Amino acid sequence: MDNERETIIIVDDVVTNLTVGMNSLDTVYDVFTAPSGPKLFAILDKVTPDLILLDIEMPEMDGYEVIQILKASSKTSNIPVIFLTSKIDPANEVKGLDLGAVDYITKPFSRELLLKRVDLHLLLERQKKELLSYSRGLESEVSKKAKAVVELQNAILMTVAELVECRDSATGGHIERTQKYLGLLIKLAFDSGIYNDELREWDIGLVVMSSQLHDVGKVAIKDDILLKPDKLTEDEFAEIKKHAEIGAAIIRRIENSTSESAFLKHAEVFAESHHEKWDGSGYPYGIKGERIPLEGRLMAIVDVYDALTNDRPYKKAYTHEDAVKIIRDGQNRHFDPLLCGAFLMSDAIFQAADLDASNSTADYNELRSTIKMVANIMDIRSVSENGRTDTIQLYLRLFIAALLENELYGAEVSSWDIELLLLSAQLHDIGQMGVNDKILSKSGTLTEDEYEAVKAHTEHGMNVMRQIKDSVTNGSMLYHAEVIAGSHHEKWDGTGYPNKLKGRIIPLQGRIMAIVDVYEALVNDRPHRSKKTHQEAVDIIKDLSGTHFDPELVKVFIEREREFERVASK
């Protein structure tokens, strides 16, 4: 967004309110004031604002009449309107929302509250405009859309791979480098006429992208082993070796839940076979020769080359020349002799490789598979939370349907792409990937420092989402994911984290997820406690209405609690 200031019009028949509003907002926005409805329409002939703050009780023309005129005109119908009122009356509030208002602000208002609420709604409007702009002309811009989605998918894959990799501090950058090396080796093989019949059947970009997940099984290896600086014992090495089978199992589990799994099939093969050896002495299955999938034989070379030429806890980096000699010695034993020959004839290309990441091409629908994969990997880290993201999606769908039926927060909810929100919600706890597994699985009470480490997952989650958004053309598709990750532990009374937001300043997505997240946690076992009954969970949420949770949302939850119970019992 450029530096142009957004415009707000404040409409109120009380001069004091206009003055307070002007003084609160004019350092950030261009502000116009109008003492009545007719004066507002006179301003609108010359100015199109980004937001209107509209008093309800005014002589000559009240706020309800004004908003009806605004919404009836194509010129002004899309301008968001926030009502200003000195009275809290649920019936009138519902009436205003039905007429198209996006929110209410109670008078007298504080500068800080007014500014935060205005900031929030203008942010929502900017995001809506981004999504609207993205959707316009969609059919005529299929290739552009596909590029944006593939960028996003690839960024998510890269971020997941980096989250796995960051647990093994010795292998920083390994994923990105091996991805690039793999692309080079495939090209060398093709140019040399090696395995061309099979390579011609591949979408090479898709294969290279999927290789990022070759070490995803390490997510299930305990930190004590993964981070050990000394030589591993025989038992510890046996545990590390399991990552190949675990990685393939993780990916197979995701494949079984989606029809859009072409890139996952390659990812599964990479994960399972990249430690097999040509002479049959590798793992996990000890297969040999061309029975080892081509993906695994390719990755075996680039994986070892990268490991040799970079520092590890047990050794310093080898020179390129020494690494090449070791790989040459492994020809016919460790490595496919034809692929190894192609590497050895052109090894200088690897030494001079530009390691900037590259993009590839894949189906839009595979984005759903990618996010599903991330969610499953998150679940894998805790056996007690297996399948948690799927259940939370079902709860959210129930909740949003109830909000639309009850017309509660209807204007905001109806502006959402519901499927995109449900998809994004699977990433709400992605920040937990950065929390030590000893803390996540601890059965006793957390220490103060441990609790602070757990709380940090919300900020980790937001940072992950921002990292992905910043690396792609159309990051707006992850707007809901960032909002939910950062706000689902805020509390209605302002005692939550990470920002101690209060009341309706907390984004609606976060307020909904707060109830869903707590209910799901209560009715399932956790390391530190046994699960509660459905009724016990309902009673706890009732008791926390108005302190932990938005009281209006709690009412909706109570109305639909039997539907939640049916989902929980499956």
Under a CB-based contact definition with an 8 Å cutoff, are residues 547 and 491 in contact?
yes
Looking at residue 284, what DSSP letter applies? Answer: S
Question: Helices 366-380 and 262-273 sit at what angle, rounded to 10 degrees?
Answer: 40
Side by side, the strands of the sheet bearing 7-11 are: 30-34, 7-11, 51-55, 81-85, 103-106
Look at the alpha carbons of 220, 225, 229, 230 in this order and tell me if their dihedral is positive or negative.
negative
Under a CB-based contact definition with an 8 Å cutoff, are residues 30 and 9 in contact?
no
pLDDT of 412: 82
Cα–Cα–Cα angle for 481, 174, 348, rounded to 5 degrees: 135
Query: Coil, strand or helix: which one is 175?
Result: helix
- Which residues, 6+ apart, have CB-to-CB distance to 2 below 8 Å? none
pLDDT of 529: 79
pLDDT of 204: 85
Please report which confidence band the pLDDT of residue 387 belongs to, taking 50, 70 and 90 as the band edges: low
Give the residues across from 83 on adjacent strands. 54, 104
pLDDT of 380: 56
CB atoms within 10 A of CB 556: 21
pTM: 0.48
pLDDT of 171: 46
Under a CB-based contact definition with an 8 Å cutoff, are residues 253 and 307 in contact?
no
Residue 362 has pLDDT above 60, yes or no: no
The candidate with the shortest Cα–Cα distance to 452, out of 437, 430, 435, is 435
Distance of CA 304 to the CA centre of its chain: 32
Report, as an integer, the average pLDDT of 286-306.
Answer: 95
Cα 551 from Cα 103, distance rounded (Å): 16
Beta strands at 51-55 and 7-11: parallel, antiparallel or unpaired: parallel
Q: What is the mean pLDDT of the chain?
A: 82
Q: Is the omega angle on the peptide bond into residue 49 within 30 degrees of 0, that is, cis?
A: no
Cα 375 from Cα 373, distance rounded (Å): 5
* Of 104-108, 167-171, 461-465, highest mean pLDDT: 104-108
Give the residues across from 545 on adjacent strands. 549
Pick the range with the lowest mean pLDDT from 258-267, 269-278, 450-459: 258-267
Under a CB-based contact definition with an 8 Å cutoff, are residues 531 and 568 in contact?
no
pLDDT of 1: 43
Go through the domains of the chain in sequence order and give each one's CATH number: 7-135 (3.40.50.2300), 141-351 (1.10.3210.10), 381-568 (1.10.3210.10)
Residue 310 has pLDDT above 70, yes or no: yes
pLDDT tens digits along 513-555: 999 999 999 998 877 778 999 999 999 999 999 999 999 999 9
The candidate with the shortest Cα–Cα distance to 463, out of 435, 490, 482, is 482
Pick the range with the lowest mean pLDDT from 10-14, 227-231, 327-331: 227-231
If 0-12 CB within 10 Å is exposed, 13-18 middle and 19+ buried, where does residue 113 land?
Answer: middle
pLDDT tens digits along 42-95: 999 899 999 999 999 998 899 999 999 999 888 899 899 999 988 767 777 788
Distance of CA 247 to the CA centre of its chain: 21
Under a CB-based contact definition with an 8 Å cutoff, are residues 212 and 183 in contact?
no
Distances (CA, A) of 529 to 443, 444, 449, 515, 522: 8, 9, 20, 19, 9
